[in-house]
Amino acid sequence: MIKNYLLLALKVLKRKPLYTFISLFGISFTLMILMLLTSLFDATLGANQPLTNRDRLVLVPSLERTRTETDTITKVDTVFMDNGQVRYDTTETYEDDVVSTSNGPMSYQFVTKNLTNFKAAENYAFYNDNAFIDGYLNGQKFSFAAYYVNANYWEIFDFDFLYGGPLNADDDAQASKVVVLTDKAAKAYFGEASASVIGREMDLGTAVYRVRGIVARPLTDSPLFGGDIYMPITNVDPRELNSDELSGGFSAVLLASSPGQREALQEEINFLAENYDMSGEEYFDALELFNAPFITGYAQGLLGERDAKKAVRMLFIPIGILILLFVALPLLNLVNLNISRVYERKSEIGVRKAFGANSRDILYQFIFENLILTFIGGAIGMAFAVGMIAYINANDLLGITRLSYSYQVFLYFLLVIIIFGFLSGILPAYRMSKTNVAESLR
C-alpha cells in the first residue's frame, strides 16, 4: 500500500510541473530560513561548549551603588467652614528619592571576598574583559581581545581544548606568564593551530608569554568568553587587584549546584547586597548586585532592560510572532495550491470511490502525497541551508558567531517538515475525501 501511494505521489508531481515547482520553492525556501534561524538560535543560546552548564549559571556582571535622600513634601488643603470662612490645613510627608547612582563591573577585592561563600553555589569564576593587548612577531603587530580569568573559569566553562590544557590555581598564585589561545588567534599569530604551538612564546604587551593550550573558538560571541587570548587573572595591573573600591573591572559567574538552585542562589546574592555594610562609602548608601540566569541575562544585556521578565518578553515574543507569520504565509499559499491541484482530480477520486475506496483511504492518500512533496522540498531546503551555513561560517558574515549542524537543529528541522506537510495537506485532503461519487463522475 505504501509503495503504491509513493509511486502515485511521484506521478502526480510530474503531472503539473508548474504547481510542483511553486510548491517545492515555497517549502524549500521557508524551511531553509527556518533551519538558519534555528541554527542561529542554537549557536547563540544552546547548551553548546563552553555553555554545557548553561542551565546552572547565574551571571553577576556588575553592581550599582545608590544614594538616597529624603524629600519633604508639603501639601496644603483648603477647608471651607460652616461660617463661610476658609481654613488652610498643612500636612508634610516624607519620601525617599534616589538622587545618584553609579554602576559597572566590580573590584577584584569585592568579588573574592564576597562572592565565594554562597550555599547554593558549587563553583565561581571571575574574569576581566576590559583589555586589548598587542602581540608582535617578526616585526608584525597583532591586536587581541584579552581575558584575565581565574582557574575556576575553566571548570565552569567547558571549552573544547584542541591541544594543551587550561590555566590552573598555581598560575593564579604565581601570576604565571602563560596563555590559552583560540584556534583563530593561534592561526593569526603562528600561522597554524596545531600541537606544535604548545610551549611556544608570544610577545604580548611588554612581556613574553608561553602558550599553555588552544581551544576551539565558541560558536557565538558572548561577554562571558569573547577573548582571543586568556591569561591568569593575577596578570592584571596590581593596582586593580589591590584596590579597596567596590567598583572595578571584574565580573563573576556562579555555578549553582543544580538548575533548581539558581533561584536560591539569586536570593543569596540579593540578600548580600541588601545587607552589605556601606559605612565605608562616603557618598553612596545602598548596593545592588545585578544577577540573572544565562538566557535572562542575555536578553537584558541585548536590550538594555533591567526588568528580567520584561526583557525576556521583549526578546522572545516578537521573535515568536515573526516566525509564526513567516511560516503561516507560505503555509496558506500551499493550502491554496493543494486545493487547486486536488480539485482537478475529482474525477479520479470519484472512480476510486466507485470501485470501493472509502473516505479514509482518500484522506490518507492525499496526506501522504503532500508529505512526500514536503519532504522533497525539505531535502532541497536542507541542502540550500547547509550550503548557506558553510558560506556564512567560511566568510565570518556573523562575526564570531558560527552556525552549527547540531542534532537538535536536525530534529527541529525534521519536526517542522512533518508539521508543515501535514497542515498544508490536511484541509484539501479532507475536502476531497468527502467528495460525492455521482458529482465527481458528472
Q: Report the pLDDT value the prediction gives residue 418, as an integer from 0 to 100.
A: 76
pLDDT band at 33 (very low <50, low <70, confident <90, very high): confident
Ramachandran area for residue 356 (φ above 0: left; ψ -120 to 50: alpha; else beta) = left
What is the three-state SS of 352-417?
Answer: HHHCCCCHHHHHHHHHHHHHHHHHHHHHHHHHHHHHHHHHHHHCCCCCCCCCCCCHHHHHHHHHHH
Q: Is 246 within 8 Å of 65 (Cβ atoms)?
A: yes
Q: What is the DSSP letter of 106?
A: B
Q: What is the DSSP letter of 218?
A: P
The residue ranges of every structural domain in the chain are 2-48+312-441, 108-267
Q: Please state whether the peptide bond connecting residue 50 to the residue before it is cis, i.e. omega within 30 degrees of 0.
A: yes
With 70 as the cut, is the pLDDT of residue 74 above it? no
CA atoms of 318 and 76, how far apart (whole Å): 48
pLDDT band at 369 (very low <50, low <70, confident <90, very high): confident
SS3 of 261, please? helix
CA atoms of 42 and 404, how far apart (whole Å): 7
Q: What is the DSSP letter of 51?
A: -
Ramachandran area for residue 44 (φ above 0: left; ψ -120 to 50: alpha; else beta) = alpha
pLDDT band at 346 (very low <50, low <70, confident <90, very high): low
pLDDT band at 194 (very low <50, low <70, confident <90, very high): very high
Q: Report the pLDDT value the prediction gives residue 312, as an integer from 0 to 100.
A: 87
Q: Report the pLDDT value the prediction gives residue 1, as an integer from 0 to 100.
A: 55
Cα atoms in the 13 Å half-sphere on the side-chain side of 193: 18
| Amino acid present at 257 | S
Most confident of 73-77, 82-86, 119-123: 119-123
pLDDT band at 182 (very low <50, low <70, confident <90, very high): very high
Q: Report the pLDDT value the prediction gives residue 62, as an integer from 0 to 100.
A: 94
**pLDDT, tens digit, 9 for 90 and up, residues 234-293:** 999 999 999 999 999 999 999 999 999 999 999 999 999 999 998 888 788 889 999 999
Burial of 277 (0-12, 13-18, 19+ CB in 10 A): exposed
CA atoms of 300 and 217, how far apart (whole Å): 24
Cα atoms in the 13 Å half-sphere on the side-chain side of 126: 23
Question: Which runs of E-coded beta strand occur in 205-329?
Answer: 207-215, 229-232, 251-256, 286-289, 292-293
**pLDDT, tens digit, 9 for 90 and up, residues 212-228:** 999 998 888 788 998 99
Average pLDDT, the chain: 82
With 90 as the cut, is the pLDDT of residue 230 above it? yes
Q: Report the pLDDT value the prediction gives residue 301, as an integer from 0 to 100.
A: 84
Query: Beta strands 178-182 and 207-215: pairing type?
Result: parallel
pLDDT band at 27 (very low <50, low <70, confident <90, very high): confident
Q: Once rounded to an integer, what is the mean pLDDT over residues 169-184? A: 95
For the stretch 360-376, what's the b/e string if a residue is b when 16 or more beta carbons lie within 10 angstroms of its beta carbon? Answer: eebbebbbbbbbbbbbb
